Amino acid sequence: MIKQANVMLDKRAVIADIDERIYGSFIEHMGRAVYGGIYEPDHPEADEQGFRKDVLELVKDLQVPIIRYPGGNMVSAYNWEDGVGPKEDRPRRLELAWQVIETNQFGTNEFADFAKKTNSDVMMAINLGTRGIDAARNLVEYCNHPSGSYWSDMRRSHGYEAPHKFKTWCLGNEMDGDWQIGQKTAVEYGRLAAESGKAMRQVDPDIELVTCGSSGSGMPTFPEWEAVTLEHTYDVADYISLHQYFGNRDNDSQNYLASTMELEHFINTVRSVCDYLKAKKRSKKTMMLSFDEWNVWYHSNEADEKLERWQQAPPQLEDRYNMEDALLVGGILITFLKHADRIKMACLAQLVNVIAPIVTENGGGSWKQTIYYPYMHASVFGRGKSLHTVSASPKFDTKDFTDVPHTDSAVVYREEEEEVTIFALNRHTEEDIRVHYALHDFEGYEVEEHITLHHEDLKAGNSLAQENVKPALSKAYTWEGQELQVELKHASWNVIRLKRRT
């Protein structure tokens, strides 16, 4: 007999208004993300500024609201001044984090132009590895001050009369990691971040600041790092960052698909530490979360070890994603929606070529990986209010997790448009599951479409030549008297869209 799950929801039971920036992404100067990814002046599809038009279109379809830049690990030894001004004067540097040559032919102003073309905001990261307060405040002045000062006038002399007005700034990157140039202890980082943030805000009081949380929940210093750094940065920062990458290293698909349980635990722990600091400091401010690096990252590990050092734009971190990766990405997005009251920004790391939904060939075509689809669905249909769900699903145990629900759903309600979108995952790798959704207060609604992403082979992926994993429409549902019954195919990602008929 087919397994059955139940979900109840009510349009008045709202978790929070979803901040659309949870569908952000990330471009780091590494591998072929910039050079050969978004920027390739010699490509037949390049526009007048060297941006690949095919890539611009693929990014625009994702409706990416914000893009983090320029790193990542790279930012911790980056001199931002190298990447502005006449291109012929820009230095070629040894880029230490990824052991490549950085030509600096692309920099802050080019990225501002790219973001404009994709209708995205920019989340800038500053170097708190080898540099500090001075370089940070100068960069804010260069980017955001209108005119009449040394750095703002330099920007104008570089052809950018109007300030970029970047609002969101990350105070360094993964400063707890021993791989980071200029790694810091929690106290060293907390003090430096607080003082840098203070100076940056004196240049532009309108900016928002993200303080570095741990590089992942597996760090030995997690969550002490959060507790200690926030002692110093709580008053100056608006967000704390979370980073997490996943991989099916043991080829245990059920265990892999259950790893959103770990994510859930990570988010809840960071929330708790922030709230502890809030209480301790008698603060009125609630620290919000910026999950500004997340994705699947493991397919490319072996290949990366074989790469020679000091190449220009080598194929680093070029994971080729499969069906099960798309399912995990869907599960992560569902988890973020359930925490919409605290997660206000999140960045799929990264956007093009480097652990990315979009892949390009140098001089050739571009294509969508499997993970492109759940990310696009969530970004396009997942804006509005995130609703609470009360659910009961059959459960399973894996090597690392117990009581994992086979199905998981998040629900988004767009009040004005009178639309509801259900994102649903069936993690069961063999059995279809019927989910019964009881919707309260949705009279007059009808199902618009049920989109499903499924492939019998969990290891199936896409390539330029062949798109094996792509969404299809399903008719496996009934809708009657505000009761929706949907059959979720085994190992499938689903989007069920309802709209009120007038």
Residues tagged active-site: 174, 293
Interface with ligand AHR, residue 349, by CB under 6 A: yes
Choosing from 293, 319, 324, 487, the residue that interacts with ligand AHR (CB under 6 A) is 293
Interface with ligand AHR, residue 127, by CB under 6 A: no
Cβ proximity to ligand AHR, 31 vs 384, nearer residue: 31
Cβ proximity to ligand AHR, 219 vs 380, nearer residue: 219
Kindly compute the dihedral angle of the four CA atoms of residues 473, 475, 476, 480, in this order, to the nearest 10 degrees: 130
Helix, strand or coil, per DSSP, at residue 12:
coil
Contact string 33-72 vs ligand AHR (x = CB under 6 A): --------------------------------------xx
Helix, strand or coil, per DSSP, at residue 450:
strand
Interface with ligand AHR, residue 316, by CB under 6 A: no
Cβ proximity to ligand AHR, 354 vs 433, nearer residue: 354
Cβ proximity to ligand AHR, 95 vs 174, nearer residue: 174
Interface with ligand AHR, residue 173, by CB under 6 A: yes
Cβ proximity to ligand AHR, 28 vs 121, nearer residue: 28
Interface with ligand AHR, residue 129, by CB under 6 A: no
| Smallest gap from residue 189 Cβ to ligand AHR (A) | 14
Q: Are 152 and 146 in contact (CB under 8 A)?
A: yes
Question: What are 108's two structure tokens?
Answer: 């802050």
| Smallest gap from residue 61 Cβ to ligand AHR (A) | 22
| Smallest gap from residue 27 Cβ to ligand AHR (A) | 10
- Give, in order, the Cα–Cα distances in Å from 410 to each of 15, 46, 119, 350, 396: 11, 39, 26, 24, 20
Interface with ligand AHR, residue 319, by CB under 6 A: no
Interface with ligand AHR, residue 174, by CB under 6 A: yes
| Smallest gap from residue 114 Cβ to ligand AHR (A) | 18
Cβ proximity to ligand AHR, 81 vs 174, nearer residue: 174
| Smallest gap from residue 71 Cβ to ligand AHR (A) | 5
Name the nearest CA neighbour of 393 among 443, 342, 322, 331: 331
3-state secondary structure 343-370: EEEEEEECCECCCCCEEECCCCCEEECC
- What Rg, from alpha-carbon coordinates, does the chain have? 23
How far apart CA 274 and CA 2 sit, in angstroms, is: 43
Cβ proximity to ligand AHR, 95 vs 141, nearer residue: 95
The position carrying tokens 């659309």 is 20
Number of residues that bind ligand AHR (CB under 6 A): 10
Q: Are 427 and 257 in contact (CB under 8 A)?
A: yes
* Residue 407: strand pairing partners: 426
Choosing from 244, 253, 290, 350, the residue that interacts with ligand AHR (CB under 6 A) is 350
Question: What are 157's two structure tokens?
Answer: 């002399």
Q: Are 153 and 147 in contact (CB under 8 A)?
A: yes
Task: Report which secondary-structure segment, H or E, holds 9.
Answer: strand 3-10
How far apart CA 501 and CA 300 sit, in angstroms, is: 48
Interface with ligand AHR, residue 292, by CB under 6 A: no
Task: Report which secondary-structure segment, H or E, holds 299.
Answer: none
* Binding-site ranges for ligand AHR (CB under 6 A): 28, 71-73, 173-174, 215, 293, 349-350
